[in-house]
């Protein structure tokens, strides 16, 4: 898998902004011929020129980093390698060109593939009685948050306004929210047995019931969620109005995600949270203790620190269950998640289940040489009754290795030699020496020799 070249990205954005090469070159203070060389990736881009480009094109650094194009390229490679499509191997150069030069067309290909997969499932008798859906609600919700870099300034503003009015220290925030619910909205909060639920609000009696099974930090989050449900409704409507989701289910999922975002922003205000995270070098457990929130809540909040002019470390975030199902994922770090399959068994995400409650660190290197400092730990939810297994998930995060020195988890790790080679998934990985491989790669031909038992599960060669 290759990295999209920044020159092609600059060229595409320039054309979208309707600038000629001469006009953009004049704004940058360089010659049109030099800009032409940059756009054809025959000249590099200095840091100072990069900042000039963001001003001239009115985009942020993330738009020029190639992360979005790289994610598209990964998705295209995965989709077009599906053997059911019956395609010849698509050259990497073609995938790169489509992702960089025609991103809308690339997204259209991915959308069509998703629709085709849903149609196949429907044809197999898995369709809901309500009929077919061209896009699964959870996929639409994931795309909604990914396309907006998982950062919503309007909700940050609402949370900051409420936080300023409450004027409470982190240790007192739960009480302050409960008082605001009572004084402004007439909501009475009770904690006790709540069969089959963790939170229940009755609009008629204005009673908010929380399950006694919830730990303190989860009760605080549910209080914040309820407050945002009452006070941020107009802001949520404004966020969804420009491009309404395609179904009622997708709308509900996105609204719930936005309410969770707003609740986290209230409990972990942007500027103090970012300052604390930097001071503690992103020690998640220490940051969580400072704000009185959970490990998972802290990790999710760290993945939203993308405010213009005050960006945090770009993290990816992932929550996985023991069966390998991904419940939540987001990548501000450019980590190319596989959209339609599992992940690599060599990745620490899966190994963390073997050491419950222990945070594990790994330098993970993809097949193109890109490396990430990753860390993972299990989290356990409450059991609501005797005999019910407690839900267990692994929360994983990571950042590009170039930012590793900003994390306490890099201390004592030899970043140059401690790398573990992983792939996106077995079907998309061409590591020939992997002993953990479950499937051969899609783009290779199996080499079978009955005279020898290989050390690896599959031998293969390029088609």
Is residue 362 scored above 60 in pLDDT? yes
CA distance 51 to 28: 10
Pairing of strands 360-365, 460-462: unpaired
Average pLDDT over residues 24-43: 88
For 226-242, give the DSSP string.
Answer: HHHHHHSHHHHHHHHSS
Is residue 115 scored above 60 in pLDDT? yes
Residue position matching structure tokens 């997969």? 117
CA distance 45 to 5: 11
Task: Give the range with max mean pLDDT: 33-42, 106-115, 327-336.
Answer: 33-42
Average pLDDT over residues 382-403: 89
The pLDDT score that the predictor gives to residue 376 is 95
- 3-state helix, strand, coil split of the chain in percent (to 5) is 50, 15, 40
Q: Nearest-CA neighbor of 278 among 301, 312, 308? A: 312
Lowest mean pLDDT among 122-136, 281-295, 303-317: 122-136
DSSP 205: T
The pLDDT score that the predictor gives to residue 332 is 66
The pLDDT score that the predictor gives to residue 85 is 72
pLDDT digits (tens, 9 = 90+) for 181-229: 999 999 999 999 998 889 999 999 999 999 999 999 999 999 999 999 9
- For residue 161 the two structure tokens come to 């306004």
The pLDDT score that the predictor gives to residue 338 is 63
Lowest mean pLDDT among 39-43, 329-333, 334-338: 334-338
Is residue 460 scored above 50 in pLDDT? yes
Evaluate whether 337 touches 343 at the Cβ level (below 8 Å).
yes
The overall average pLDDT reported for the chain is: 84
Is residue 127 scored above 70 in pLDDT? no
Is residue 22 scored above 60 in pLDDT? yes
Which element (helix H / strand E) includes 165?
A: helix 153-166
Is residue 131 scored above 50 in pLDDT? no
SS3 category, 20: coil
The pLDDT score that the predictor gives to residue 125 is 39
User: How many angstroms separate the Cα of 9 from the Cα of each of 40, 98, 285?
Assistant: 10, 11, 38
Full set of structural domains in the chain with CATH: 6-147 (1.10.260.40), 153-267 (1.10.10.2910), 310-428 (3.30.450)
Confidence of residue 342 (pLDDT cuts 50, 70, 90): low
Pairing of strands 188-192, 207-211: parallel
Confidence of residue 120 (pLDDT cuts 50, 70, 90): low
For 98-154, give the DSSP string.
Answer: HHHH-HHHHHHHHHHHHHHHHHHHIIIII--TT---SS-HHHHHHHHHHHTTT--HH
Which element (helix H / strand E) includes 173?
A: helix 173-185
CA distance 221 to 199: 11
How many percent of the chain have pLDDT more than 70?
A: 88
Beta pairing partners, 320:
326, 394
Length of the chain counted residue by residue: 463
Evaluate whether 207 touches 201 at the Cβ level (below 8 Å).
yes
The pLDDT score that the predictor gives to residue 4 is 45
The pLDDT score that the predictor gives to residue 101 is 78
Which element (helix H / strand E) includes 397?
A: strand 392-400
SS3 category, 340: coil
Lowest mean pLDDT among 58-62, 217-221, 333-337, 381-385: 333-337
CA distance 424 to 75: 11
Is residue 44 scored above 90 in pLDDT? no
Calculate helix-pair angle for 295-302, 248-267, nearest 10 degrees: 100
Pairing of strands 306-307, 310-311: antiparallel
Q: Vertex 127, ends 125 and 129: CA angle to 5°? A: 115
Confidence of residue 443 (pLDDT cuts 50, 70, 90): low
**Spatial strand order in the sheet of 326-331:** 326-331, 316-320, 392-400, 371-380, 360-365, 419-421
């Amino acid at each position: 898998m290759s990295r999209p070249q920044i020159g092609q990205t600059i060229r595409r954005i320039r054309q979208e902004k309707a600038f000629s090469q001469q006009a953009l070159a004049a704004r940058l203070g360089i010659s049109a011929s030099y800009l032409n060389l940059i756009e054809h990736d025959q000249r590099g881009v200095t840091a100072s020129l990069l900042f000039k480009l963001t001003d001239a094109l009115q985009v942020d650094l993330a738009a020029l980093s190639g992360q979005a194009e790289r994610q598209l390229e990964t998705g295209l490679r995965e989709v077009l390698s599906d053997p059911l499509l019956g395609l010849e191997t698509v050259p990497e150069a073609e995938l790169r060109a489509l992702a960089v030069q025609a991103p809308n067309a690339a997204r259209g290909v991915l959308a069509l593939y998703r629709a085709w997969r849903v149609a196949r499932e429907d044809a197999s008798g898995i369709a809901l009685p309500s009929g077919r859906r061209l896009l699964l609600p959870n996929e639409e919700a994931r795309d909604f948050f990914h396309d907006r870099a998982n950062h919503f300034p309007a909700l940050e503003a609402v949370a900051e306004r409420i936080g300023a009015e409450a004027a409470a220290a982190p240790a007192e925030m739960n009480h302050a929210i409960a008082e605001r619910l009572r004084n402004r909205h007439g909501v009475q909060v009770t904690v006790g047995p709540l069969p089959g639920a963790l939170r229940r609000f009755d609009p008629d009696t204005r009673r908010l019931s929380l399950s006694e099974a919830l730990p303190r930090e989860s009760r605080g989050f549910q209080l914040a969620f309820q407050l945002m449900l009452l006070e941020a409704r107009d802001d949520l409507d404004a966020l969804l109005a420009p491009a309404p989701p395609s179904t009622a289910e997708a709308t509900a999922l996105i609204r719930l995600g936005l309410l969770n975002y707003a609740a986290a922003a209230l409990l972990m205000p942007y500027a103090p949270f970012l300052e604390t995270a930097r001071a503690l070098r992103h020690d998640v457990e220490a940051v969580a203790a400072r704000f009185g929130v959970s490990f998972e809540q802290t990790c999710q909040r760290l993945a939203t620190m993308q405010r213009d002019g005050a960006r945090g470390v770009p993290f990816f975030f992932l929550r996985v269950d023991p069966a390998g199902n991904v419940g939540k994922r987001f990548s501000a770090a450019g980590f190319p998640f596989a959209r339609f399959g599992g992940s690599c068994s060599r990745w620490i995400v899966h190994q963390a289940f073997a050491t419950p409650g222990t945070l594990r660190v790994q330098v993970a290197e993809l097949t193109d040489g890109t490396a990430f400092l990753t860390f993972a730990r299990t989290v356990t939810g409450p059991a609501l009754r005797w005999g019910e297994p407690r839900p267990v998930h692994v929360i994983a995060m990571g950042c590009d290795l170039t930012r590793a020195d900003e994390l306490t988890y890099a201390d004592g790790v030899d970043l140059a030699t401690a790398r573990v080679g992983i792939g996106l998934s077995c079907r998309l990985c061409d590591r020939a020496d992997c002993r953990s491989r479950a499937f051969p790669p899609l783009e290779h031909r199996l080499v079978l020799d009955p005279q020898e038992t290989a050390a690896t599960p599959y031998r293969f060669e390029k088609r």
